[in-house]
Amino acid sequence: MKKLFLLTFTVLGLLTVSCNSNQQDNDPMAETGRTQRTENLLASLKELSAQDKFMFGHQDDVVYGIGWVGDSARSDVKSVCGDYPALLGFDLGRLETGSSKNLDGVDFDRIRQEIINQYERGGVTSLSWHCYNPLSDRQSWVEDSLLDVESTTVASILGEGETHDKFISWLDLVAQFLNSLETADGVKVPVIFRPWHEHTGSWFWWGQNNCTTDDYKALWRLTVDRLREQGVVNALYAYSTGTESGGDPDKFMERYPGDDYIDLIGLDFYCASPNSEEEACAQYLEKAEKHVSMVCQLAKEHGKAAAVTETGYEGIKTSDWWTKTLLPAVAQYPISYLLVWRNAHDKEGHFYAPYPGHSSASDFVNFYKDEHTLFAGDMNGLYEAK
């Protein structure tokens, strides 16, 4: 009995010590208001940015793919090359409306679990947010018939605007979700949060023609300040534009909310042409030269990590796209990661990663084996102090 008690006592003691130490690790650091692990991740991303290796990422990789949805431990990328992506992307759109599923039908509880799984395999998660329009109560994409509403939405959020309180309650739901990202051992899982993306275009209500520069910056600051106030200690923030700057750094940074608000500078750009595959690939290489080099330069100047926050070739129509277009386009630039978009199970032809039997699958295996690319199995110590 005594022995059993001692054993129980010891186990309880060990558990308490380990919980306490995780608890302490979850405490925000005085200088940055974030956990040590989150700062370590940022340092690792910057270190990766300075090397000639990058993490491969895929949106919604583990929750559905071509011909399947909702399976456990499945991934089109893993089925093709044997490993998970080093980075996963998920979207928080519809969290703000209180829905249990996001805009693409993925359960938020599942997303939470997959973020934790990804952390436990040593990888990273990036979260985008196709946020509803709080003024129209409709999607984030601008609707032509509602242009007056779309172009006054950001202003309606700011100051004492009519949607301010509602929007703050939406941010609080995001904060709640980020705060809930905890492993069974009580470790707060760091993530990259990438709201208000592609703002240099005008297809979202927060886009270029729909708000002023000052209002866009104010939206960012309101977002980050509120999340911090709500106790979010595990988020890095990514600024990610489209290609509308044309490679002009001043234009690219026009709506940058400031170094205190941003950790990672990135770009969304795709391989596409209405004319031909050759043209799509040639233009992709040109775009990379113009934009990715600029992103890396700006990230360096501002002391931030650099990334290609979204990219890909819808339907991957060229079978050697991975090694003959993507790699030559980006491998020479010091990015920390690139993320290809989702393999939709419900939208014919809307996929950006290969799946077994796809014509680019064997080329993807070469891409996987290439010295520049990192997958989950290559991840080691991203969250440890350098």
Q: Is 103 in the site for ligand BMA (CB under 6 A)?
A: yes
Q: Is 215 in the site for ligand BMA (CB under 6 A)?
A: no
Q: Measure the CA–CA gap between 184 and 22, rounded to whole angstroms.
A: 11
381: helix, coil or strand?
A: coil
Binding mask 305-344 for ligand BMA (x = CB under 6 A): ------------------------------------xx--
| Binder among 130, 138, 164, 221 for ligand BMA (CB under 6 A) | 130
CB of 59 to ligand BMA, least distance (A): 7
Q: Measure the CA–CA gap between 372 and 254, rounded to whole angstroms.
A: 32
| Binder among 61, 91, 114, 198 for ligand BMA (CB under 6 A) | 91
The residue with its CB nearest to ligand BMA is 91
CB of 263 to ligand BMA, least distance (A): 23
> Closer to ligand BMA at the Cβ: 108 or 256?
108
Q: Which residues of 189-228 are buried (b: 16+ CB within 10 A; e: fewer)?
A: bbbbbbbbbbbbbbebbbbbebbeeebbbbbbebbbebbb
Q: Is 268 in the site for ligand BMA (CB under 6 A)?
A: no
Burial of 246 (0-12, 13-18, 19+ CB in 10 A): exposed
Taking CA 213 as the corner, what is the angle to CA 207 and CA 215, rounded to the nearest 5 degrees? 85
Q: Measure the CA–CA gap between 100 and 283, rounded to whole angstroms.
A: 40
CB of 226 to ligand BMA, least distance (A): 23
| Binder among 104, 150, 198, 363 for ligand BMA (CB under 6 A) | 104
> What distance lies between CA 280 and its chain's CA centroid?
25
- Consecutive H or E run containing 304: none
List interacting residues with ligand BMA (CB under 6 A): 91, 103-104, 130, 341-342, 347, 350
